[in-house]
């Protein structure tokens, strides 16, 4: 399992895109993994034949552990060697110094951290003496496999649904691969086992236990760290945003926005960015080790996005430099990428301030928790029609207006109450009267 540059220690295998016996090229995508932050596609650093997959879909694997073996055509001279992670006996049998032997190459990534201890490959036993690696795969006899079952993830899923034990299935595919037809035949020839439940089994107390992993595990750790490290202060303001909604309608009819979805969030983001420029302490972070407040020149605006895999916060680099149309397009791109589960670790790094739009769920307000390492986060409630007092004196009256509630949380170590209040008040002022943003 490679170190994908996030400082993570493990990842979950989601889907294998190859099977034993397949031929792969350098940089061909072979597996999808879910890290604590996103879904990542891993390429093969070697060209050759896939010999073995060392992890099953759904299995969590430590960084540095082998997950796939690839036999190269010309031996180790054709590709960079992988870090040593096998047991000492297996390492002696598959040493990178061996010449003129087609040996499996283990995909452990580019520059994966080296561990001081050594781990035996999954399913391998300690060997008393080195064993040569066969340069070719000999087709298995028509009998049930004794080692790891070779098959595709969809076939494994079918076997699980039909209650078929794959270790008892006689493979008919090339290289001893169990095919869909093999599973169906085994299912018809023997009594089926009850299918595995689609969710975690209930306990005697009627509980359902769900493993904490992937994005949920990372989010939980980040929120606990933030909540119990940065002293949060939250402030709220309810305001009339009718002028902003009218501006949105006018702008949406213009040619510059013909191919852009101008959402209310884009206008809120523009107002918030302008307010952050007026309160630069909001675009800072607390450096505990150096006992310094580090202020960033560029505003990298994070947009919290709810996805089927959990909460992710990709950010828009130097967002204050973008025009409204560019900002709206960038927000739309981030949202669609996040929903597809394709947000990269780099897109979630180096954020400086964040917006959380819980209004899309019909919620009026909330208390957002800071993204770790940041000083301010703006929560946006639903924008709806409400009765509102307008006018003054004899002209005072109640009219239906577009109204929302903004919630700002900030790190009180970095910002005083006055600075936090000014940040929120400026954001609200720009939304009440968008023309003020030009001042």
The whole-angstrom separation of Cα 398 and Cα 58 is 57
- Answer left, alpha or beta for residue 291, where phi above 0 means left and psi between -120 and 50 means alpha: left
Greatest extent of the chain over all pairs of C-alpha atoms, in Å: 99
Backbone angles phi, psi at 72, to 5 degrees: -85, 160
Helix (H) and strand (E) counts in the chain: 8, 21
CA 348 to chain centre: 9
Rg, the chain, Cα only? 28
Query: For 112, which DSSP code?
Result: P
Q: Which stretch of DSSP H or E encloses residue 244?
A: helix 242-252
The whole-angstrom separation of Cα 343 and Cα 30 is 19
Question: DSSP for 119-180?
Answer: -PPTT----SS--PPPSSPPPPPSS--SSS-EE-HHHHHHHHHHT--GGGSPP-SGGGEEPH
Angle at 299 between CA 298 and CA 304, to 5 degrees: 150
Torsion of CA 332, 335, 338, 344, to 10 degrees: 50
Sign of torsion over alpha carbons 116, 121, 124, 129:
negative
- Answer left, alpha or beta for residue 421, where phi above 0 means left and psi between -120 and 50 means alpha: alpha
218 given a catalytic annotation? no
Sign of torsion over alpha carbons 195, 200, 203, 208:
negative
Which residues neighbour 324 within 8 Å (Cβ) at sequence distance 6 or greater? 251, 262, 266, 267, 270
Q: Which two tokens stand for residue 353?
A: 């301030």
Look at the block and give the residue holding tokens 């960033």.
Answer: 296
The whole-angstrom separation of Cα 275 and Cα 321 is 14
Nearest CA to 109 out of 180, 10, 186 is that of: 10
- Any idea which residues carry the catalytic annotation? 412
């Amino acid at each position: 399992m490679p170190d994908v540059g996030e400082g993570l220690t493990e990842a979950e295998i989601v889907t294998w895109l190859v099977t034993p016996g397949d031929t792969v090229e350098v940089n061909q995508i072979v597996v999808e993994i879910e890290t604590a932050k996103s879904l990542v596609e891993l390429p093969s650093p070697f060209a050759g034949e896939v010999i073995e997959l060392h992890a099953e879909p759904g299995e969590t694997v430590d960084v540095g552990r082998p997950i796939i073996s690839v036999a190269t055509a010309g031996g180790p001279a054709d590709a960079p060697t992988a870090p040593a992670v096998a047991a000492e006996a297996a390492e002696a049998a598959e040493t990178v110094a061996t010449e003129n032997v087609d040996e499996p190459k283990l995909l452990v990534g580019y520059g994966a951290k080296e561990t001081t201890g050594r781990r035996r490959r999954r399913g391998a036993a300690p060997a008393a003496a080195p064993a040569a690696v066969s340069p070719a795969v000999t087709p298995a006899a028509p009998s049930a496999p004794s080692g790891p079952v070779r098959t595709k993830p969809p076939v494994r899923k079918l076997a699980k649904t039909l209650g078929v034990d794959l270790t008892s299935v006689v493979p008919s595919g090339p290289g001893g691969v169990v095919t869909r037809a093999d599973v169906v035949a085994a299912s018809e020839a023997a009594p089926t086992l009850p299918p595995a439940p689609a969710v975690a089994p209930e306990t005697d107390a009627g509980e359902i236990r769900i493993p904490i992993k992937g994005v949920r595990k990372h989010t939980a750790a980040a929120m606990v760290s933030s909540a119990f490290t940065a002293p949060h202060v939250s402030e709220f303001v309810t305001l009339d945003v009718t002028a902003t909604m009218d501006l949105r309608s006018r702008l949406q009819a213009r040619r510059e926005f013909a191919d852009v979805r101008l959402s209310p969030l884009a206008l809120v983001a523009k107002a918030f960015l302008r307010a952050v420029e007026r309160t630069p302490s909001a675009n800072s972070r607390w450096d505990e080790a150096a006992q310094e407040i580090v202020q960033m020149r560029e505003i990298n605006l994070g947009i919290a996005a709810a996805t089927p895999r959990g909460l992710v916060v990709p950010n828009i680099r130097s967002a204050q430099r973008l025009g409204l149309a560019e900002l709206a397009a960038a927000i739309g791109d981030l949202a669609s990428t996040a929903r597809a589960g394709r947000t990269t670790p780099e897109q979630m790094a180096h954020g400086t301030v964040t917006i959380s739009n819980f209004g899309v769920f019909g919620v009026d307000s909330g208390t957002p928790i800071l993204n770790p390492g940041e000083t301010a986060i703006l929560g946006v409630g639903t924008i709806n029609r409400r009765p509102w007092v307008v006018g003054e004196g004899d002209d005072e009256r109640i009219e239906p207006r577009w109204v929302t509630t903004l919630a700002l949380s900030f790190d009180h170590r970095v910002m005083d109450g006055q600075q936090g209040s000014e940040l929120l008040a400026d954001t609200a002022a720009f939304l009440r009267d968008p023309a003020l943003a030009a001042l």
